[in-house]
Amino acid sequence: MNWIHNPAFRRFLLSNFGKKQFFWKIVSFVLRFLKMQSCIFCKIVNGEISSRKVYEDEKVLAFHDINPQAPIHILVIPKKHIMTIREVNEDDKDLLFSIIKTCNKIADDMGIGEKGFRIVVNTNPYGGQTVYHLHFHLIGGRQMRWPPG
């Protein structure tokens, strides 16, 4: 706890604490931290829960869905905790590009790149989202139907 007594840290707190913006930043950081503690996909990212990984880099993780809806059903997720696609912002441009690149790479590696596949992002209750950590379902290996259920 030595950092609490650090003069630079104290100066930083004193000069910022009165500011509303700073207060809300702290509140949102704490809320985000608490959500991450209970998030099943964050637990997969940090290894607390095991998964059948198919790809990993510093920003993205991909693993087999535990309840596959097709012969190939992979979840591609950002390692960073983002609740839904609605929380994605300007800073996440590179991350989204990495996720799409990863989907294409996995589709090619699994031999469905040319045949075709589907990418689904269920969002909020009416979208059928059950895990609130952004994830892209990469589904393939059979003919997809439309409209979806």
The span of 10-18, 27-35, 54-62, 127-135 binding ligand AMP (CB under 6 A) equals 127-135
Among 66, 100, 101, 111, binds ligand AMP (CB under 6 A): 66
Backbone φ and ψ for 51, nearest 5 degrees, come out as -150, 165
Q: CB–CB of 44/53 below 8 Å?
A: no
Task: Name which of 77 and 107 has its Cβ closer to ligand AMP.
Answer: 77
Beta bridge partners of 56: 61
Footprint (CB under 5 A) of Zn ion, residues 40-99: 41-42, 81
* Residues belonging to the active site: 135
Residues lying near ligand AMP in the complex (CB under 6 A): 40, 49, 51, 65-67, 75, 122, 128-131
